[in-house]
Amino acid sequence: MADERTNRRRHPRVGIPLEARWEGQSGKHAARVAEISLGGCYVESIGQVTKGERITFQVQTPRGRWLLLHGEIVYHDENMGFGVRFLPLAPPTERRLAEIIEAAGGVR
């Protein structure tokens, strides 16, 4: 399954641990982002989500600021985490996200 998900990605992901907090139908949760790209991320969380659900979440940047994002759940690994596809990003948010990815060794 991971190979299928990797092949569908439009943007390369970088591994970078970022503290996160998200809110969905099951409430508010603390989490950690393990991988991120301009198109989405993988969130490590035991919170319950469903495929297609839209969530609001924030990631703490390496500089300690919080970046607000909105996304849609594209898959769920029960008791491990879930993949999120970002909803359209505002240009300032996209620039900040690109800076985080570049700093983590990703391509801009």
Beta strand segments in the chain, E? 14-24, 27-36, 40-44, 54-60, 66-77, 81-86
Global pTM?
A: 0.84
Which of 69-73's residues contact partners 24+ apart within 8 Å by CB, and which partners? 69/93, 69/97, 71/40, 71/41, 73/24, 73/49
pLDDT value of position 68: 96
Domains in the chain, start-ordered, CATH in brackets?
A: 2-103 (2.40.10.220)
CA quadruple 43, 32, 22, 36: dihedral sign = negative
Per-residue confidence of the chain (108 residues) as pLDDT tens digits?
444 454 455 776 788 899 999 999 999 999 999 999 999 999 999 989 999 999 999 999 988 999 999 999 999 998 899 999 999 999 999 999 999 898 887 654
pLDDT value of position 77: 92
